């Protein structure tokens, strides 16, 4: 028996090549808000709903030990998923296009923490995958 239970993901940390560019993407395109900036560490903490996304410059104090930046041959992670509401594919597409961000493929039903529901995929400026997921539906998906 464990003396604890996991409640939710508190935060993720992404190593990025251009910290201001990454902050602008997560803030201006996806709607995160800056919680704290830590220039001495090359790090910015962003609110993402009830969780956080921490961005670390690959050439900063915390990023350097991780080696070279992710690229075409390797990434920091496969993708992160952000649950969003409302979930209107055409409004999402229009908003992303205003920021020169394209969706990867067509919307599809995927399984997540709340169950099956529609989601779309895109890349951040460093090539990290981002899934924007709508509410669970009773689609009976698998």
pLDDT, mean over the chain: 89
As given in the structure block, the two tokens for residue 88 are 């209107």
- Decide if pLDDT at 3 tops 70: yes
Distance of CA 90 to the CA centre of its chain: 20
Tracing tokens 């560019």 back to the chain, one arrives at 21
C-alpha span between 96 and 111 (Å, rounded): 23
Q: Does the pTM of the predicted model rise above 0.85? A: no
Q: pLDDT tens digits, residue range 61-102?
A: 988 888 888 777 767 777 899 999 999 999 999 999 999 999
Whether residue 11 has pLDDT greater than 60: yes
Tell me the Ramachandran region of residue 5: left when phi exceeds 0, alpha when psi lies from -120 to 50, beta otherwise: beta
Q: List beta partners, residue 132.
A: 82, 120
Task: Report the DSSP pairing between strands 115-123 and 43-48.
Answer: unpaired
Q: Which domains does the chain have, with CATH numbers?
A: 1-64 (3.10.180.10), 77-142 (3.10.180.10)
């Amino acid at each position: 028996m464990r003396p604890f239970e996991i409640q939710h993901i508190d935060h993720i940390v992404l190593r990025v090549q251009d910290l201001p560019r990454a902050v602008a993407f997560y803030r201006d395109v996806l709607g995160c808000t800056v919680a704290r900036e830590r220039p001495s560490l090359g790090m910015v903490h962003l609110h993402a709903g009830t969780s956080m996304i921490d961005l670390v410059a690959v050439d900063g104090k915390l990023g350097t030990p991780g080696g070279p930046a992710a690229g075409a041959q390797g990434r920091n992670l496969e993708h992160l998923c952000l649950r969003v509401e409302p979930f209107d594919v055409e409004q999402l597409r229009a908003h992303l296009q205003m920021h020169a961000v394209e969706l990867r493929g067509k919307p599809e039903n995927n399984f997540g923490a709340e169950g099956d529901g529609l989601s779309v995929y895109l890349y951040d400026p460093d090539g990290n995958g981002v899934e924007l997921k709508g509410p669970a539906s009773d689609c009976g998906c698998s």
